[in-house]
Structure 1
């Protein structure tokens, strides 16, 4: 494949297009990270919830331990405080679950936000670039072979705009049919430049 053109103008356009696509990828990566941060902020209540649960659990366990040392009735009095400690532990678990769930959603939303536009643009761009590179590579291998000028000139007659063909001559088709080497060389050079290749010495005008 001929990934970059031989002609400076077309090669410059290709490099600029590559940089634009790269900038597009970077832009959407940044947007994806911003969306991730935005959604992750929804997990803010998890910290105070977890902190409150830990305080309740710790305090209730301390009271239960202290009351448990009371003779005769200690075992009976610890039950309610152990229940409060269990409720505090549930708050801690709820905070952890909230934070984990929000981060999973943030990761999914941020990834999809970045991935969809990146994949669509990069896939389309690569398809166009690969097709053009394969075509240019095939013509680059063919241009020095026997009979290449005639075939390239014919391709130019098919692919080029009439206004550009008129620059070669009043009737380039007749010139190709009659074997006019000057017009054939000009047409072949035009076709090579169309795909970003330098004309061969025989096809220079």
Structure 2
């Protein structure tokens, strides 16, 4: 029911972006395609012409694959997506007004800045509260992230983390058993947090 309501509130550009992902999942999975045929009475696979109830039914079939798709997108991004997902998951609204989102974004960056100061102070303390093994894990991940971010300096290019580097860092974080929050604090200790215009953030 919730998805049907959300789809009813989206404009065609937003809805079509969502449907395009669902289409690609269906086309790459013949088994799923057979299940979709059972949902559709007329046998048409054009999601754009379906009502929101049927789209919701189709989504329930591909939900697992959709989660995998979203997960892979998160893994390979170096934007502030982690900050944005924290805002959205805590707010609990299906659809959020832009001015409210802008205020939450501003507050999130202030909170992050405060947490970063506390985290860096603890890391650089002579007697850190973090246990030695964990501190070692943080330093390993931090050193690798610094190399990935700053190695473009040798070629006179803008600093960035490529998708290959991001994949390696993600694997490393899993092996070190870093939580999302720990990764976020280490990442933004090295990569500056820049306040972006809210239109760019939403895009």
Q: How does the TM-score come out when normalised to structure 1?
A: 0.20
Larger Rg belongs to = 1
Q: With CA pairs under 8 Å and 6+ residues apart, which has the higher RCO, 1 or 2?
A: 1
As a proportion of its length, which structure holds more helix? 1
Q: How does the TM-score come out when normalised to structure 2?
A: 0.20
